[in-house]
Chain A
Amino acid sequence: MSRIGPPLLVELRQVGKVYHLGESRITALKTVNLSIHRGEFVAVWGPSGSGKSTLCNLIGLLDVCSSGTVRFEGQDVAALSDDQRSELRNRGIGFVFQSFNLIPVLSALENVMLPLQISGVSTAQARRAARKRLAEVGLDDHAAHRPAKLSGGQQQRVAIARALVTDPALVIADEPTANLDSENALRITELMRRLNSNNGTTFVFSTHDQRLLERVERQIQMRDGEIIDDRSPEQPAMRLDRSVGL
């Protein structure tokens, strides 16, 4: 079936993931099929151990699948070397972690500059881009602060600025509001939603947070390593087009 719409960004076909712990095998993902298009705002939700973090890790090229195929921008990531995957993550994917994962010895500005400096961008250029992103998340006056001097909400905004500084096609957020109070969780949710609308950045995040789910156009529900529901409340008809094999 042909469809006209945003281009495909990530595609998972028959993807499975098995972990080996000693002699025991743990199946984290069973045969999963999924397509994510540019500009989508996608939540992956489900109980603990349902496989949502594993799914996010595979989409974010942090891990490789045990079976099946993961394609990012049409490229089979299994065919890439570790260095090539690192380069792809650096330029194409931003990460927001539950515990913020800022580098404690770097200031907010230096943390945001980091992905650009990894890719070899000059310090002056990286500083300009990082300042712009910090201003976008409302923290331009906290640029010199080290993470320890920032609140949880501020740290997560710095992490979002860091995730966006390379203008990635995709941002993966692992329970971004889990460690935040209600007010900060709401601000972070609104911020991500605004960046998605304004910049067209694709967001995929795992969450338990019902408030966040209410603001998401596409919800993927997981249980026991499988996608059991993939729906778009406002546009249910599109869901079937986007989801492969569901």
Chain B
Amino acid sequence: MMTWIKLALRNLFRNRRRSLFTILAIGLGFAAVNTLGGFTAYIFTSLKDSYIYAQGNGHLSVFKTGFLQEGKLDPTRYLIDEEEMGVIQQVLARHPEIVVVAPQLHISGLLSNGKVSTIFIAAGRVPSAVRRINEHARGMIGKIQLFDGKSLEDDVIHGIGLSRGLAEQLNLDLGSDAVAMAPTVSGQINALDAQVFQLFDGPVEALEDKLMSVSLKFAQSLYDTGSVDRLTLLLTNDDTTETVRAQLAGELAAEGLKLEVKTWNELSTFYTKVKQMFDVIFLFTFLIVFTIVVMSVINTVSMAIMERTREIGTLRALGFKRRGIVGLFAAESMLLGILGSLLGMVLTLITWSGVAFFKPTWIPPQITRRVPLEVYLVPDYMLYSILLLIVLSLAAASLPARTAARMQIVGALGHT
């Protein structure tokens, strides 16, 4: 076996320039795919961490069954009251992997500056619980402040945050006073004084002039209720999300509660859409790169066969079987794949080191501040790329190699 691999390796370097360009094509293809893969892995992780930690949404959310479908039409029907909360808290307490429980009440109504009013929608959350979720973030995500101004506090009820579009519409700025109005759960109109503590960017254009951030107490006071519409849960480990969801769903049902538990990726439509988009981009890039690789290998092997036709005839005359000829060229293309992949790994490491060293920054969608651009090293992608490139190289060589093996010996020996 070693003899044939040695022969294949020596044959590979007979036309050094051609082999070098093929190895370069494979290496650059490998590096392009793995760098893009590393960048998309960074994007996915950032979006995930942003949703779970920076925006304080946690890994799991517990709702009354049907809230997500019917909740907007009849919100009071799907509220979780204090008694139910007590039972839920007991169930959650049995799970040490749940590190933060943050109740929320989402509200909507009118916000007025004293002269004009406009519609708002707001998430009423416990600011200290949200901060605890933020603190669990890894890397830069936990350090990014997504607003200007000061933090909301649990007990400073009147402090609110406004999306910049909403603030502009009502001509409000940090420190300005406003009045929030909304119907209570019993249908009475209620109003609360508020002061603008913070300004932030809305996650989507359509909500830029409507979003408000308030404390849970503010939301409950405005709706005149002690209930919440969801509980967000932060887990110690991302990987246990599905397991904990299944356990909680079972345990809550056993308590006679009609609740559903949703994971973060089921609720983050933005993450899902971005992931789908990058997956398509990655697929196209992957197809283009690997088409180039396959064509390069086919060209290299075909040229080698043409140049070495007489040699193929000689080997056949000496007793080499047809499958031996196929095996020889397969070994050569496999070596091209291996050497190309090794070069690709080196190029990927250089790119990764360069990005880590120079620390370029960029402004991703939905964030107003520059953040470091990163490229992750994804060992799984690298391993799959190596295997795929070797298989592709072998497949690309198989057709010309089979043609070579089927040559008439006499014709091959007479080839000039």
Taking Cβ atoms with an 8 Å cutoff, the residues of A that contact B are 57, 60, 62-63, 82-83, 86-87, 89-91, 95, 97, 99, 101, 103-106, 114-115, 117-119, 123, 162
Contacts and interface: CB of A to CB of B under 8 A. Distances in A.
B319 A118 contact: yes
Given A103-B311, A118-B318, 5 more contacts: A63-B410, A83-B322, A89-B317, A105-B7, A105-B11
19 contacts: A62-B409, A63-B408, A83-B322, A86-B316, A86-B321, A89-B319, A90-B318, A91-B319, A95-B318, A97-B314, A101-B311, A101-B313, A101-B314, A104-B14, A105-B10, A105-B11, A105-B14, A115-B318, A115-B319
A243 to B, nearest CB: 25
Contact of B318 (A104, A105, A114, A123): A114
B133 to A, nearest CB: 64
Interface string B299-331: 000000000001101111111111010000000
Nearest to B8: A105
Minimum-distance CB pairs A-B, first 3: A90-B319, A105-B10, A101-B314
A165 to B, nearest CB: 10
A103 B314 CA distance: 8
Nearest to A115: B318
B355 interface: no
A197 to B, nearest CB: 25
Interface band, chain B: 20 to 34
B243 interface: no
B413 interface: yes
A114 B318 CA distance: 8
Judged by DSSP, the binding face of B is helix
B3 interface: yes
A63 B409 CA distance: 7
Contacts of A90: 318-319
A191 B311 CA distance: 25
Q: Point out which of A87, A101, A115 has the most chain B C-beta atoms below 10 A from its C-beta.
A: A101
B320 A118 contact: yes
Interface in B4-21: 7, 10-11, 14
B317 A62 contact: yes
Nearest to B317: A95
B287 to A, nearest CB: 35
Nearest to B10: A105
A153 B314 CA distance: 19
Contacts of B321: 82-83, 86-87
B172 to A, nearest CB: 80
Given A101-B311, A117-B3, A123-B3, A57 B410 contact: yes
A91 B315 CA distance: 14
A62 B410 contact: yes
Contacts of A103: 7, 311, 314-315
Contacts of A62: 317, 409-410, 413
Given A101-B413, A105-B10, A117-B3, A60 B319 contact: no
A97 B413 contact: yes
A195 to B, nearest CB: 18
Contacts of B315: 103, 114, 118
